[in-house]
């Protein structure tokens, strides 16, 4: 871990899963916006990021999460938490018992338990001055736009992203009084190692390559969302469409689109 002078007026942003892909783009964009970024990942390549502090930490482990939040709170006021770290894998419902239990621990440990641990550790600090929590979800949870595309063999990944809605919705309501906004970013295919690993060659098919979403565009969308002050929403980003935060939907349509 590397660090600079602690300073009460410093605005700190925590980004999980920051070694590559979307987490890396969120970290760099927040740094560009003058946040003091605390980035962590289970992969040691997070140490290459040019941000204020970086740690090798696993968000499914409570002691790791507490160490991340402690580092962040010593650097300044935690104002942003990006719950980005996520795991994807094929988990057919026809898998055997033990494989299913192992898959559950792996997917839910990061995608849900980790988000809960990190957020519960950071929120007491964020309540002091307000801020923004961004839960990184998937366009699967916006059925009106995703055309029912939840694939049949990623039940645990899909379930984890649907469950994130519960966090986003409840936290948005409870934390509004403290000036904390809570939203989900729900994107389709983004050009990251997670997506490329789906293809044996690591190359995206040409038709997808032309229109795939770019991490930088999603990072810009995150900044626009924070500036808007909107809360309790799932904001979509769809392949082949411009990436914007769109109009604010009516209250009853915010989480399910």
Q: Which residues bind ligand NAD (CB under 6 A)?
A: 16-17, 19-23, 41-43, 58-60, 84-88, 110, 114, 136, 138, 187, 189-190, 192-195
Judged by beta carbon, residue 131 or residue 236, the one nearer ligand NAD is 236
Nearer to ligand NAD, 58 or 233 (CB): 58
Cα distance between residue 146 and residue 238, in whole Å? 8
The angle at the Cα of 54, spanning 188 to 87, to the nearest 5 degrees, equals 30
Measured on CA atoms in the order 124, 129, 130, 134, is the torsion positive or negative? negative
CA atoms within 13 A on the CB side of 202: 1
Q: Across the strands, what pairs with 39?
A: 15, 54
Q: Which is nearer to ligand NAD, 6 or 193 (CB)?
A: 193
Closest contact distance (angstroms) between CB of 31 and ligand NAD is: 17
Cα separations in angstroms, 85 against 18, 95, 110, 163:
7, 25, 7, 15
Provide the minimum distance between the beta carbon of 254 and ligand NAD in the complex, in angstroms, as a whole number: 19
Indicate the SS3 state at residue 192: coil
- Triad 28, 37, 179: Cα angle to 5°: 110
Query: Is the Cβ of residue 127 or residue 196 nearer to ligand NAD in the bound state?
Result: 196
Q: How far is the CB of 179 from ligand NAD (least distance, A)?
A: 26
Shortest reach from residue 12's CB to ligand NAD, in Å: 18
What is the smallest separation between the CB atom of 222 and ligand NAD, expressed in angstroms? 11
- CA separation for the pair 40, 150 (Å, rounded): 29
Q: What are phi and psi of 116, to 5 degrees?
A: -65, -45
- Cβ distance to ligand NAD smaller for residue 110 or 181: 110
* Catalytic residue list contains 157: yes
Tokens 């936290």 map to which residue?
Answer: 171
Alpha helices in the chain (DSSP H): 21-32, 62-75, 97-108, 115-126, 143-146, 155-175, 193-196, 206-209, 215-228
Looking at beta carbons only, is 76 or 114 nearer to ligand NAD? 114
**Least spacing, CB of residue 96 vs ligand NAD, in Å:** 24
Helices (H) and strands (E) in the chain, counts: 9, 7
From the candidates 35, 139, 140, 157, give the one annotated as an active-site residue. Answer: 157
Q: Which residues are catalytic?
A: 157
């Amino acid at each position: 871990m590397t660090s600079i002078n602690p300073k009460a007026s410093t605005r700190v942003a925590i980004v999980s899963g920051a070694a590559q892909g979307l987490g890396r783009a969120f970290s760099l964009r927040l740094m560009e916006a003058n946040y003091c970024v605390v980035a962590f990942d289970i992969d040691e390549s997070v140490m290459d990021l040019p941000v204020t502090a970086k740690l090798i930490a696993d968000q499914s482990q409570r002691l790791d999460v507490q160490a991340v939040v402690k580092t962040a709170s010593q650097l300044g006021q935690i104002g942003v938490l990006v719950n980005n770290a996520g795991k994807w894998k094929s988990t057919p419902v026809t898998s055997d018992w033990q494989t299913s239990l192992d898959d559950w621990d792996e997917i839910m440990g990061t995608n849900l338990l980790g988000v809960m641990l990190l957020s519960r550790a950071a929120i007491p600090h964020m309540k002091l001055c307000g801020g923004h929590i961004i839960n990184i979800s998937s366009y699967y949870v916006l059925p009106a736009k995703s055309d029912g595309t939840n694939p049949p063999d990623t039940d645990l990944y899909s379930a984890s992203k649907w469950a994130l809605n519960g966090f986003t919705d409840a936290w948005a309501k409870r934390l509004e009084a403290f000036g904390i906004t809570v939203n989900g970013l729900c994107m389709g295919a983004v050009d990251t190692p997670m997506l490329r690993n789906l293809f044996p060659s690591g190359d995206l098919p040409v038709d997808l390559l032309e229109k795939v979403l770019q991490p930088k565009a999603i990072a810009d969308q995150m900044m626009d969302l924070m500036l808007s002050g909107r809360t309790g929403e799932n904001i979509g980003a769809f392949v082949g469409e411009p990436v914007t935060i769109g109009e604010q939907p009516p209250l009853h349509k915010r989480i399910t689109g």
